[in-house]
Structure 1
Amino acid sequence: MRVRTRIGTLIAALPMVAATLATPATAAPRADFKWVALGDAYTAGLIDATGPEVIEGTGRDGCGRTAGSYPEVLRPRFADRFELVNVSCAGATVANVMSEWQEPQGRNLPFFGVFDPDHPFGAVPPQIEAVTEDVDLVTVGVGGNTLGFIEFMYACVVIGQWAAPNEDAPCSQHFTTGWDGVPTVDDRLSALGEEYGEMLRTIRAMAPTATVIAVGYPAIIPLDPRGCDHGLTPEGIRDFATVTYPDLAWLRTDVLQRLNQLIADQAALNGSLYVDVQAITEGHDVCQPESRRWVEGIADSVGRWSLVRPNAAAHAAVADVIEALLLAGES
């Protein structure tokens, strides 16, 4: 797929940029291209394992954008060419990108006895308001909250406490039967596909010359989840606590893989590029040793609540792929 003309111009200019960086400058360089980053916590960063929070303007807005998130990792690399507008926000849904105001929660986790001193935060506008006609690049990483992945994870932890960890799959049964009016995964994916496609088309309409990159979700769960620690021990909480092994297998294949395939399909249908974060992060899931772990579990390696989100290593890998994608593009 051909990257749009203005991005191609940027790529052609990179050797000149490198030469400029090697010589003293008499004036601050001007950013010729505009990049808008949209997304949820998997874009924003949020957790401690992605570095300190980036605070702009008058103070924290509760969205949890951190220095180790992939937009902020890329900001200095193209600082003289791109003006980055990062409006990603932890907890965002497709609706929060498109049309609905969001009430960010920051790091407020009352269920776990963690209270953000700045909570409550003011509502933030739909992220798409940052996308204007002059934008050259839009990255968007969203969909998991609309599907309900965190809802699934919470439910699997709670229900799994009373299940046989090697045999039972109470969570998958809960979300696939439609019992008690609970929307099934199939129903949710069907609705999400329509919303996601409409979002990409709206971004294209608002920024017709922009390159749009849809960013998927990481490999959170290993191919064989039986290697994960189970239970409410420190080791178990660093993985998936009381989620049973059959439910972990279901979450990997029937939820996360299908979510990523949906994003890839919608990107292809709507003239967007796709970053396959699952492929990038395979073998670096929650249950790997700390040296190879790119996604934190319920808690991170030092016991801070992470609630299954990528750490700085995962964001750095995604940043490298996005950079390579731009460098490989054609004008």
Structure 2
Amino acid sequence: MLSTALAAPAAAAAPRYQRYVALGDSYAAVGTLTKVRSAPIGCARATDNYPSGVAARLAPATFVDISCGGAETPDLTTPQEVPLGVNPAQFSALTPDTDLVTVSIGGNDVGFGEIVRKCAELSFGDPFGAPCRAHYTAGGTDVLAARIAELAPKITAVVDGITARSPNATVVVVGYLRILPPRWGCWPLVPFAIGDVAYFDGVQRSLNATIGGRAEAAGARFVNPGLTTGHDVCQLPGKKWVEGLVPTSLSMPVHPNARGQAHVAGLVAAALSQ
């Protein structure tokens, strides 16, 4: 006669994580535009962004995605007004029983949107030079390097703020997918002057390095999607992970598409398995 233990159905295995909270800006939030969640719709928070991919892989008991396009570090602690609504302070989703947090933040603090617009505008007057670099280094000071330096202590504060509210959480800070190739670019399809491509790529690598260094020093894990080349805005549809100014998939300009977000989700899941 089989014992009761053998005869009874096997109990379902408990999920590794009980409560997963996703924080961050549009590089965490966006995905396919036809899959955007409401509440509020202005955040462009999609069901195929990388947090959703991580949740699908890990199957936590509870998944809360409060990331929002346009978010800067102050929007983690204060409500953020967006078209057609307000996103609550993102830290409001953190609870003592939260045991996994991902966050992508800092690009808007540095001014990614402004930089892309300015570099595109200047490129038409000097497509073979480096007018954007000249603009941001006029007077002998690299304005973008200074902005990244100003961001550094804010990243420390972000991690500290998460751990204060969710002391048992594994915190994963996620950097930014590579936007441009290391050199040359593809002007005028993506209007960055040839000399500005390497400059902007260096700015983005410095941003990721600064975010990663501060995150790890504060006790978080860091995932850097910007290390991989060959999937930037200049690649063909189907190969690119970040869309150009004129998207070739149902995503936002100069933002990750569904393929890019799936790649980031895989990197985060792999980091958590180590």
Question: 1:89-104 alignment to 2 at 5 Å?
Answer: 89-97=68-76, 99-104=77-82
Match of 1:41 among 26, 46, 50: 26
Contact kept? 2:99, 2:169, Cα under 8 Å = yes
Counterpart Cα distance in 1 of 2:88 and 2:30: 19
Question: 1:66-105 alignment to 2 at 5 Å?
Answer: 66-79=46-59, 81-97=60-76, 99-105=77-83
Aligned residue for 2:85, secondary structure, equals coil
**Are 2:222 and 1:274 equivalent residues in the alignment?**
yes
Q: Supply the AA of the counterpart residue of 2:159.
A: L
CA 19–295 in structure 1, closer or farther in 2 if over 3 Å, else same: farther
* TM-score normalised per structure 1: 0.74
Contact kept? 1:31, 1:83, Cα under 8 Å = no
Counterpart Cα distance in 1 of 2:252 and 2:43: 15
The CA deviation string for residues 270-318 of structure 1, in whole angstroms up to 9 with x for no partner, is: 0000011112x4211111122311111111126x773211111111111
Q: Supply the AA of the counterpart residue of 2:23.
A: L
1:190 corresponds to: 149
1:250 corresponds to: 199
Equivalent residue pairs, number: 265
**Are 2:190 and 1:207 equivalent residues in the alignment?**
no
1:52 corresponds to: 35
Counterpart Cα distance in 2 of 1:41 and 1:183: 26
Counterpart Cα distance in 2 of 1:178 and 1:200: 34
Structural RMSD (CA): 2.4
**Deviation at 1:225?**
2.5
1:289 corresponds to: 236
Counterpart Cα distance in 2 of 1:296 and 1:198: 31
Unaligned runs of 5+ in 2: 1-9
**Deviation at 1:30?**
8.4
**Deviation at 1:62?**
1.3
Counterpart Cα distance in 2 of 1:265 and 1:30: 30
Q: Supply the AA of the counterpart residue of 2:208.
A: N
CA 132–305 in structure 1, closer or farther in 2 if over 3 Å, else same: closer
Q: Supply the AA of the counterpart residue of 1:74.
A: V
Counterpart Cα distance in 2 of 1:320 and 1:83: 19
**Are 2:122 and 1:159 equivalent residues in the alignment?**
yes
Counterpart Cα distance in 2 of 1:183 and 1:87: 34
Q: Supply the AA of the counterpart residue of 1:45.
A: V
Counterpart Cα distance in 1 of 2:100 and 2:132: 39
**Deviation at 1:32?**
6.1
**Deviation at 1:75?**
2.8
Contact kept? 1:298, 1:305, Cα under 8 Å = no
Q: Supply the AA of the counterpart residue of 1:284.
A: H
2:211 corresponds to: 263
Contact kept? 1:46, 1:90, Cα under 8 Å = no
Unaligned runs of 5+ in 1: 1-17, 22-28, 106-120
Q: Which of 137-146 and 281-290 deviates more?
A: 281-290
* Percent sequence identity over aligned pairs: 34
Aligned residue for 1:73, secondary structure, equals helix
